[in-house]
Structure 1
């Protein structure tokens, strides 16, 4: 969809376009309410700034919409578009069984420590890079990790927004 089409959508349809990007209603609502955007860059800058305002409770709820790295399904059902986003983003993992097992064990360790799934922007990263990040982030404090999760979720949302509105 191009920017002009997005600017002209009614509120419900505009929200539906943005919801596969990230399940944070305040972000979606803010972007929809501030239309029309004069340029794509204006939309992306608004989205980036708004992502910095996310509260941990919103982020925690959004995490349920993401599959674990190395898994195909999230804890809750994904829309067809979200499934395509996730499959494309995790396409670098490949079929290496040792890597899959290490990611699986790392996910379990991470969830045990932090109480939520490990989230990382998978786009542009290899499976080995994601595993290395997972292992590094296991050394974070809860506060440090919440900041990293927010940054990663924002990166994912912005990449998806760029793919949605061209």
Structure 2
């Protein structure tokens, strides 16, 4: 995939700016991140797009990261009707009511401390793993947590961009 274009990447490269920006917003809610990726089109390969995404993410300031995090629902509460949110939080689907309640309490404590949702790349993670991550990360400083959030956001963006470039439909 790193040497050739895919149908999804070709479609992204040739779509109108407003349509491409809307697609990028679904990947990451940071308008600064989306604008940077849009400005660098066309991408020869998916790897070029991923590299541009990582570079744009590394340049995001505090407000841009806050904007990006605002696009993510709390763990255990995927956005209703949003298949991406439900797919990414699949690990919570079979969680017990006790685990869901504990995670809700931890999410609220985290949000109280840091002022934003707890962000983790939930794809492939169990409810217990997500709970344990909140428990660990709530002890971080704001600066430590901001860099962890940046890393987690990068993982999420890459997964979502991969889905975008691998899509075969029109």
Alignment equivalent of 2:20, drawn from 3, 11, 14: 14
RMSD over aligned Cα, in angstroms?
Answer: 1.5
Pairs within 5 Å for 1:135-146? 135-146=135-146
The CA deviation at 1:152 is: 1.1
Question: Could you list the runs of 4 or more consecutive aligned residues of structure 1 that deviate by over 4 angstroms after TM superposition?
Answer: none
Give the distance between the partners of 2:44 and 2:78, measured in 1 at CA: 37
Tell me how far apart the structure 2 counterparts of residues 106 and 98 of structure 1 sit (CA, whole Å): 12
Would you say 1:87 and 2:86 are equivalent positions? yes
Matched residue, 2:117: 117
User: How many residues align structurally?
Assistant: 159
Deviation track 1:46-104 (CA, whole Å, cap 9, x = no partner) reads 1112111111101112222211101133xxxx8x6xx2111000011123111101101
Cα displacement string for residues 107-163 of structure 1 (whole angstroms, at most 9, x for unaligned residues): 111112112111111001111000010000011011111111111112111211111
Q: Where does the alignment leave 5 or more consecutive residues of structure 2 unmatched?
A: 1-6
Q: What is the CA distance between 1:6 and its match in structure 2?
A: 1.3
Q: Distance in 1 between matches of 2:98 and 2:70?
A: 26
Partner of 1:126 in structure 2?
A: 126
Show the counterpart of 2:4.
Answer: none
1:41 partner SS: helix
Asked whether the equivalents of residues 29 and 70 of structure 2 are also in contact (C-alpha less than 8 Å), the reply is: no
